[in-house]
Amino acid sequence: MVRKVGSGHANEQAKLIEKMLAFHIEGKSTEAGRLATHLQREVDEGRCGMDAEQVDQLLLKAARLMYPEPTAARRLEEGEGPGDVLVRAEPDEWIEVKAQTKKGWPSGEATASQLTEADWVREGCHALRYLRANDASFESCLDDQAKAMIGSASSTMRDWSFTECWLADIAALRSMRSLKDAGITTPDQLREWISRKQFFLLDRSGALFGPLSKIPAVAYALGGGTVNYRLKDNKGSLAAVQVFWQGTGNPGKVDFTYHVYSRHGRHKLHKSALPLAELSSVPTSPVG
């Protein structure tokens, strides 16, 4: 699969939005406003699809809903810790930020195919390493480059189930390094950590955010349920792994899909997995 032009070029806008959210959580609107001037340059260069002032106001409103009182927070730099924004609550909390400024997620201008275009995590993940060790059908789908990209399961995770590996992935702790940074060595520690993890989705239609544990499939797994998977033929990729659960009231719809290619992996949470009515949201305000 050839990456689209511009794919992966939004790193600067992502950093700015994460820093602005942290400043607003701290109640430092002036500092966030200064960063908005830098974000406007990304807009002018065509890398950000929303007006910078519009983003700034959206983040301000969302931050106050998340934390009504100013709370210490900062963006974590690469390799500094698990998550995008660390909030010094009691205990500490982490926020995973997904900014799609040129699309509408979960509503707005985007089509259904665009909604699942955003990658939740990428490349090799714990669940894929689990499948390499435990499912010969999956292993047979891979070429040597994909096997190298995914890697092999760590001996320290030999007793982890597929469900526990998937929980680590959806918590964006896809590597042994990220688990170590979070101080996690056991599934029980992972479950406790996830209880303090939030996600924050921003797009042209607004922001959607809440505890990771509110996603029904995650809540089901945290409560001791087992998530299932199936391999699906997928044109253009070596393998597609669909993740679903079949608890009360859930017919087994797909919540998450791992897409495996020769040199990379793009793994996606589906819109249908989000309990929209139970999450907090802020709509985008008109510019001017």
The DSSP code sequence of 115-136 is: HTTS-SEESS-HHHHHHHHH-H
Summarize the confidence of residues 88-114 as an average pLDDT: 72
Q: Is the pLDDT of residue 86 over 80?
A: yes
Summarize the confidence of residues 53-62 as an average pLDDT: 96
Predicted TM-score of the model (pTM) = 0.88
Percent of the chain residues past pLDDT 90, beyond the cut: 67
- Among 18-22, 49-53, 216-220, 252-256, whose mean pLDDT is lowest? 252-256
Give buried/exposed letters for 31-44 (b at 16+ CB in 10 A, else e): ebbebbeebbebbe
- Residue 101 covered by a domain: yes
- Residue 14 covered by a domain: no
| Angstrom distance (rounded) from CA 85 to CA 265 | 24
pLDDT of 7 reads 43
pLDDT of 117 reads 56
pLDDT of 103 reads 80
Residue 239 is inside which H or E element, if any? strand 239-244
pLDDT of 82 reads 76
Q: Pinpoint the alpha helices (H) of the chain.
A: 11-25, 29-44, 52-66, 112-115, 126-134, 136-141, 144-150, 162-170, 176-181, 187-194, 216-222
Q: Is the pLDDT of residue 240 over 70?
A: yes
* Comparison of pLDDT for 77 and 167, the residue scoring more: 167
Which of the four pLDDT bands, split at 50, 70 and 90, describes residue 271? confident
- Residue 69 covered by a domain: no
- Among 76-80, 115-119, 173-177, whose mean pLDDT is lowest? 115-119
Among candidate residues 47, 49, 19, 15, the one with its CA nearest the CA of residue 32: 19
The DSSP code sequence of 10-33 is: -HHHHHHHHHHHHHHHTT-HHHHH
Among candidate residues 249, 250, 268, 251, the one with its CA nearest the CA of residue 260: 268
| Angstrom distance (rounded) from CA 233 to CA 267 | 15
Range of the domain at 260: 76-283
- Residue 31 covered by a domain: no
Q: Give the long-range contacts of residues 227-236, CB within 8 A, separation 24 or more.
A: 227/162, 227/163, 227/166, 227/255, 228/252, 229/127, 229/131, 229/162, 229/166, 231/135, 231/137, 231/138, 231/141, 232/257, 234/259, 236/1, 236/261
pLDDT of 79 reads 67
Residue 94 is inside which H or E element, if any? strand 93-100
Q: Is the pLDDT of residue 151 over 60?
A: yes
pLDDT of 115 reads 44
Q: How many domains does the chain have?
A: 1
The overall average pLDDT reported for the chain is 88
Paired tokens of 270: 């589906």
